[in-house]
Chains A and B, each alone.
Chain A
Amino acid sequence: MSKPKVLLIGWDAADWDVINPLMESGQMPALKKLVEGGMSGKLATLEPVFSPMLWSSIATGKLADKHGVLGFTEPDYSSGAVRPVSNHSRKTAAIWNILSHQKLKTNVVGWWPSHPAEPVNGAMVSNFYQKASRSHGENWPMAPGTVFPKKYQQIMKDLRVHPGDLTDEHILPFVPLASQVNQEEDKRLNSVGKILAEAASIHNAGTWLLEHTEWDFMAIYYDNIDHFCHGFMKFHPPQIKGLDDKKFELYKEVVNSAYKFHDMMLGRILDLVDDNTTIMLISDHGFESGINRLLSLPKEAAAPAYDHRAYGVFAAMGPEIKKDELVFGATLLDIAPTLLSLFNLPQGKDMDGKPLLNIFNTKKEVKYINSWDDLIVREVEEKLDPASSKEALEMLINLGYIEKPDDKAEVALEKARVENEFNLARVYLSSNRPKEAISLLETLFKTENSVRFGLRLIIAYEALKKYDAALEIIDTLEKAIKNPIQQLNALKASLLAEKNEKEAALEIVNLAYQQRIDTPFSAQRFAKVLIKYKHFKRADAFINRVLKRFPENSSLLYLSGVSTFGVKAYEKAVELFLESINSQFFNPTAHFYLGECLSKLDLLEDAYRAFSISLKQKPKSRKVMQRLSNLELKGVKVKFSEAEFVNYNSKNLENATLKKQVKKEFLKNLEGTIYIVSGLPRSGTSMMMQLLNAGGADIFTDGKRKADNSNPKGYLEHEGIKQLARNRQLLADAKDKVVKVVAPQLKFLMPKFKYKVIFMDRKVEEVVASQHKMSGKIRAITLIN
């Protein structure tokens, strides 16, 4: 096999919800080629959904507490100013450091954050490269440290596009009615030009390095879809209620145009690489494009992130990648490990992600080392240029990601520190480390009794079962804030339920039922309380009110699965658990419930697989072990060992297969209807069977029970029905037929088939009299015999 060559393309905020209709209508042919020629799927993001933290996790395979990029900015105590996060902020090796260390030729363009550019075995163009810091026509210098090595500085400088260079030829495809824009009042055309010019600069640098340098790995990061979406998603069709008609008409094309332009750039890149190159295209998060779009954002730090969605895109094509298949359960943390696998390099044990082994068409052996940081000494020599930092800071302010730092340096530094501590607490909380989160949040909450700190502190206390401490925080917040907050009520109900204060918990939930449920978080909490007390239908009603707006929310899907399981609708529950797992693969309880449902449906082999994954994700779970033992008793060959579970991601594909299989089985089962004639013995079931037989119905009978005086025309029964409890699958042969199943046997009907039941309703006195008469006759016959 030839030497691996890998191109990684980052499209910040790209989202399948916008892409899919464009691909289907032929407007994104390059991405379609990538999707159809390789593996694709959703890529789960991380908390908090802030791009510089996320792209650092992508590059390192590590959470932010390990990579050290904790927000958009950081306090710089040496200069006494707040500065944007930079290449200096990252304290661990990125994929390009590892590959350079392995003597692989490596180019990186535009990665956020990568300024100042660091020495790599190739070239690096930093994320300060594309920003136009001067007016059109003025000398436009590059910030020191923008390009490594220096020999590429001049060509890179010449390849930049200034927004002022653009003409109507560039702008009109985005805003066809641009001539109607009053540019004195409305600066949005400038914004289109600026974002487009920045995209073109990055693309120019990337394509030049693609064509003119030798490389084994190359990464190009475009932040422009995110910027277009923050500026123009509210104008994207369908029109949001309350949005000005004229503005909608002017800017409704911008978001789709942004995607189409990125596809054109991708098309060019695909032209520039050969068939031996693996291309991976990813985004760090999605972007809300549907009914949850906000016309205005709350006034708080990093508020634009409210528009971000939990799933980005993943698409990969190459000689070692499977074709036209879906990938499930991938997260941002898995990208760097997967790249290492593509280059057949060992994983760092300190990485939080796992290689996506199921995307490969051959089996990859996974090797480990303790940490790449033990081998690599990074050299980011270039100091940050204060002027460039200031410009980058202003850009972040303009985008709304950060507030303008306070004029008093001490206050500004403290605010930046607090934001980053809060972000770190969120990282701990989202990665199941409540103790670490509490140590930060308690201090933050003491300093400021804000809801955002308080909510997280409550959740952290709850995770450690410190329910009273959590309720105290709720009490403090309720006193401090004027308007009630639904999330606090939801948490309160949840905490009271944990303390077994059933009535108080349900009282809060029942009050909330009358209100609009704002967030998946609240719906989940209220639903959990209801599920705990077995109010499954109401729980599902809660979830479904929010699920319509957040159809991919894995927790909502999971809880809907649990409440559906509660009402024994197992096929539907299977669908919900699979949907939930597709969105978030790591959820041992969802796999467990999936196994439970499949067991109930007699799909024992599939149940075994689901339980196995659950056990891998939560080793030594006694509940799962017990289920596996039960399966073994039923004849399933249960074989599992630690070695078999080394990489649970390799099981991902089975979800796809399993889903297809279950669906196929489900649909197959629904293909025919089984017509049941039922009722108490002597209620007239045989008479009804005779009627249907005479009418031409196909009767399911083995003819063993012969006619007698009680039923001179015959019983039309099947002996096997008496053993229905032991052989439930028998009814698979009764499709489109009429079968007699007396009332006591009805409980053994498997829910996976479709039935129509004729229930004979005869007066009980008559039934009893008939039974007595019949049993007397039988006794008489017995005596004679």
Chain B
Amino acid sequence: MSQEKNSGWKATKLASNSTFVIKEYNNEVFLVNERGEVIEVSPKGSLAFLALGSIGHQAWQKAKSIAKKNV
């Protein structure tokens, strides 16, 4: 999953899940779907996270904020 996270169009499959929650662990942000699958959220974001809409945006903003703090 992590290999696909920022690879442009290949990441479209991330959008095929239904509901997500945002989890934070060890200064990293993850989206977890209802089947327990985990998607790592990069501070750089991706089209797939934009396409996920509000939850993707919130996860991305969180990842960016944590990355900024850690710089």
Given contacts A267-B16, A271-B18, contact A203 B53 (CB under 8 A): yes
CB proximity to A under 8 Å, residues B27-56: 42, 44-48, 50-55
Whether A264 lies near B47 (C-beta < 8 A) is: yes
Q: Which residue from chain B places its CB closest to the CB of A212 in the assembled complex? A: B54
Given contacts A161-B57, A203-B53, A211-B54, whether A264 and B46 have CB atoms under 8 Å apart is no
Docked-complex contact B46 and A265, CB < 8 angstroms: no
A265 touches B9 (CB 8 A): no
| CB nearest neighbor in B for A210 | B53
Complex Cα spacing A200 to B17, Å: 18
Interface string of A304-347 (1 = CB under 8 A from B): 00000000000000000000000000000000000000000000
With A264-B12, A264-B15, A272-B18 as contacts: A167 and B53 at CB distance below 8 Å: no
Question: How many Å lie between the Cα of A98 and that of B17 in the bound state?
Answer: 34
A545 to chain B, nearest CB (A): 40
A261 contact set on B, CB distance < 8 A: 47, 50-51
Q: Is the pair B47, A170 in contact by a Cβ cutoff of 8 Å? A: yes
Whether A271 pairs with B44 at a CB distance below 8 angstroms is: no
Contact (Cβ within 8 A) A169 B51: no
B52 to chain A, nearest CB (A): 6
- In the bound assembly, the distance between CA atoms of A261 and B51 in angstroms comes to 7
**Interface bin, chain A:** 20 to 34
Q: Which residue of the partner chain B has the closest CB to A265?
A: B51
Which residues of chain A are within 8 angstroms of B12 by Cβ–Cβ distance?
260, 264, 267
A172 contacts B57, CB within 8 Å?
Answer: no
Query: Is the pair A159, B54 in contact by a Cβ cutoff of 8 Å?
Result: yes
Q: A200-B57, A204-B57 are in contact. Are A173 and B9 (CB under 8 A)?
A: yes
Q: Mark A185-223, 1 if CB is under 8 A from B, else 0.
A: 000000000001001100111111011000000000000
Q: Which residues of A contact B48 (CB under 8 A)?
A: 264
The answer on a CB contact under 8 Å between A265 and B53 is yes
State the interface size on chain B (CB cutoff 8 A): 24
Contact present for B42 and A268 (CB under 8 Å): no
Count, A-B residue pairs, CB within 8 A:
76
**Interchain CA distance A546-B30 in the complex, whole Å:** 56
Q: List the A side residues contacting B53 at CB < 8 Å.
A: 203-204, 206-208, 210, 265, 268-269, 272
How far is the CB of B44 from the nearest CB of chain A, in Å? 5
- The answer to the question of A166 belonging to the interface, with a C-beta cut-off of 8 Å to chain B, is yes
> Closest residue to A202 on the B side, CB-wise?
B53
The answer to whether B50 and A271 have CB atoms under 8 Å apart is no
Asked if A169 contacts B45 (CB within 8 A), the reply is yes
List chain B residues, Cβ under 8 A from A268.
15, 51-53
Q: Which residues of B contact A166 (CB under 8 A)?
A: 45
B54 and A173 contacting across the interface, CB-CB below 8 Å: no
Interface 0/1 of B57-71, CB less than 8 Å to A: 110010000000000
List residues of chain A with CB within 8 A of the CB of B57.
Answer: 159, 161, 200, 204
Question: When chains A and B are docked, how far (Å) is the Cα of A210 from the Cα of B44?
Answer: 26
- Partner of B47 from the list A173, A211, A269 (CB cut-off 8 Å) is A173
Residue of A nearest to B18 (CB): A271
**A206 to B52 alpha-carbon distance, docked (Å):** 11
The closest CB in chain B to the CB of A197 belongs to B50
State which of A158, A167, A199, A207 has its C-beta within 8 Å of the C-beta of B55: A207
Instruction: Note all chain B residues with C-beta closer than 8 A to A165.
Output: 45
Quick check: B54 and A204 within 8 Å, CB to CB?
yes
Q: Are B54 and A208 in contact (CB under 8 A)?
A: yes
Docked complex Cα distance between A769 and B2 (Å): 97
Closest chain A residue to B46, Cβ basis: A169
Closest CB-CB distance, B22 to chain A, in whole Å?
Answer: 13
Within 8 A of B (CB), among A733-757: none
Known: A159-B54, A200-B57. A172 touches B18 (CB 8 A): no
* A-B pairs, 7 with minimum CB distance: A207-B53, A264-B51, A208-B54, A173-B8, A200-B50, A167-B44, A204-B54
Given contacts A159-B54, A210-B53, A268-B15, 4 further A-B contacts (CB under 8 A): A207-B53, A271-B15, A271-B16, A271-B17
Binding site for A on B (CB under 8 A): 6, 8-9, 12, 15-19, 42, 44-48, 50-55, 57-58, 61
Q: List 22 A-B contacts (CB under 8 A).
A: A158-B61, A159-B54, A166-B45, A168-B44, A169-B42, A169-B44, A169-B46, A170-B50, A172-B8, A204-B54, A204-B57, A208-B53, A211-B55, A264-B51, A265-B51, A265-B53, A267-B12, A268-B15, A268-B52, A271-B16, A271-B17, A272-B53
